[in-house]
Amino acid sequence: MPISKARSTKSSAPWICSGGIFDWDRALYRLDELNAKAEDPKFWDNAAAAQKLMRERTQLETAVAATRKLDRELDDAITLAELADEEKDEASVEEARRLIADILTRAKQQELESLLSGEADGNDCYLEIHAGQGGTEAQDWAEMLARMYTRWAEKKGYRVEYLEESAGEGAGIKSVTFKITGGNAYGWLKTESGVHRLVRISPYDSNARRHTSFASAWVYPVIDDSIVIDINEKDCRIDTYRASGAGGQHVNKTDSAVRITHNPTNIVVQCQNERSQHQNRAKAWEMLRARLYELELEKREAKVAQTEAAKTEIGWGHQIRSYVLQPYQLVKDLRTDVETSDTQGVLDGDLDKFMAASLAARIKTGGDVLLA
């Protein structure tokens, strides 16, 4: 599976320091450098390279402008607070406090964004959810997870496109795949891959007993044309079948759904959301390329993390987070020990605190690497 990619412009830019922290001086230097390049009459001779540099410049301009805006607003808020304090104006003092609190919130958000400096962090992504063993209980939990991530994406302003869904037996879902489109979608979600554990009083148990259910999430990036992945079609098995669920008469009455199995890796992708078999086949190939790219990233990250393995405590296998609804309320990430009792908020998509902690831990241990 040969994979090649030129070193990412975003990832190797000098305004991103080791550890993914935004460096102001280097950011200004890089922005001046990019502006000078853009003025070169030969800049657009290589359209692909020029577009990459323009995207980097846009990202950098946005980050610099946001930082300058926060700086101006902070100066204004401090001035307001000082004047209000001199004049004993309590209403203005409270307004200044509110403004400073809002500035702090947005500054923390920018700090989180600076952690997204991995190879494919800026890309869109695919998210797969699969119910574990446990029948209806696990299938219902898988559907809850799908709703949780959908709510999170909507809060971010991302677009969610369902590609495949297998309904559960009676309730919930056996599996679902959707594409999430938006800036840094993969960067935010990449640490969510793993097993999620739910403990609750089962709504499907007439004796109201407590049940433990498992479902898995799998995240991999949508890749662009700069990444070359050679797939031998002889290594793949392509199956077509009739789509299930919503989709209209044409979709549900023809063998339009497509499943591709990559035999060397046993990776399986499937798509049934498009109206024609041709469209589903194209989308499935795109998903397979993305999965193979993610596999290569994992291999390279594993080599980097190998030297850190002895320093970390052995966790619960692939389980990354527990959601306890009974007998108490607690969501805890088992990798970072970040926890909250606001279980409903988490299930409604409030996940940033968990993602930020996981990203910081991943960068600290050298988990994010660049493909040469």
pLDDT digits (tens, 9 = 90+) for 74-89: 999 999 999 998 988 8
Give the mean pLDDT of 50-56.
80
Give dist(CA 147, CA 143) in Å, integer.
6
pLDDT at 254: 65
pLDDT at 133: 78
**Highest mean pLDDT (candidates 27-41, 108-122, 199-213):** 27-41
Q: Which of 178, 125, 116 is nearest to 147 (CA)?
A: 178
Architecture of domain 125-222+307-364: 2-Layer Sandwich (3.30)
Give the mean pLDDT of 45-71.
84
- Domain locations in the chain? 3-113, 125-222+307-364, 228-302
pLDDT at 79: 92
pLDDT at 368: 54
Tell me: pLDDT of 130 over 80: yes
Let me know: does 50 contact 28? Beta carbons within 8 Å: no
Tell me: pLDDT of 37 over 70: yes
Cβ burial of 213 (10 Å; 0-12, 13-18, 19+) is buried
pLDDT at 66: 86
pLDDT at 10: 35
Question: Which residues, including other chains, have CB under 8 Å from residue 338's CB and lie 6 or more apart?
Answer: 332, 353, 354, 357
Tell me: pLDDT of 340 over 90: yes
Let me know: does 292 contact 265? Beta carbons within 8 Å: yes
Tell me: pLDDT of 372 over 90: no
* Higher-confidence position of 95 and 205: 95
pLDDT at 233: 86
Q: Which of 39-53, 155-169, 217-231 has the lowest mean pLDDT?
A: 217-231
pLDDT at 56: 79
* Higher-confidence position of 289 and 140: 140
The sign of the CA dihedral 320, 157, 371, 290 is positive
pLDDT at 120: 78
Which residues are paired to 216 by β-bridges? 130, 195
Tell me: pLDDT of 217 over 90: yes
Tell me: pLDDT of 179 over 50: yes
Give the mean pLDDT of 113-134.
82
Give dist(CA 118, CA 234) in Å, integer.
32
pLDDT at 27: 83
pLDDT tens digits for 265-318? Answer: 889 998 888 878 888 888 888 888 888 888 877 776 665 454 344 333 323 456
Which residues are paired to 309 by β-bridges? none
Which residues are paired to 333 by β-bridges? 321
Pair of tokens at residue 358:
């996981």
Give the mean pLDDT of 57-66.
84
Domain 228-302 sits in CATH 3.30.160.20: yes
**DSSP letter string, 28-65:** HHHHHHHHHHHTSTTGGGSHHHHHHHHHHHHHHHHHHH
What pTM was estimated for this model as a whole? Answer: 0.64
- Output the average pLDDT for the chain: 80
Which CATH number is correct for 3-113, 1.20.1440.130, 1.20.58.410, 3.50.50.60, 3.40.190.10? 1.20.58.410
Which residue type is seen at 77? Answer: A
| E strand or H helix at 150 | helix 136-156
Burial 268-297 (b: 16+ CB within 10 A, else e): ebbbbbbeebeebbebbbbbbbbbbbbebb
Tell me: pLDDT of 17 over 50: no
Give the mean pLDDT of 24-51.
88
Percent of the chain with pLDDT over 70: 81
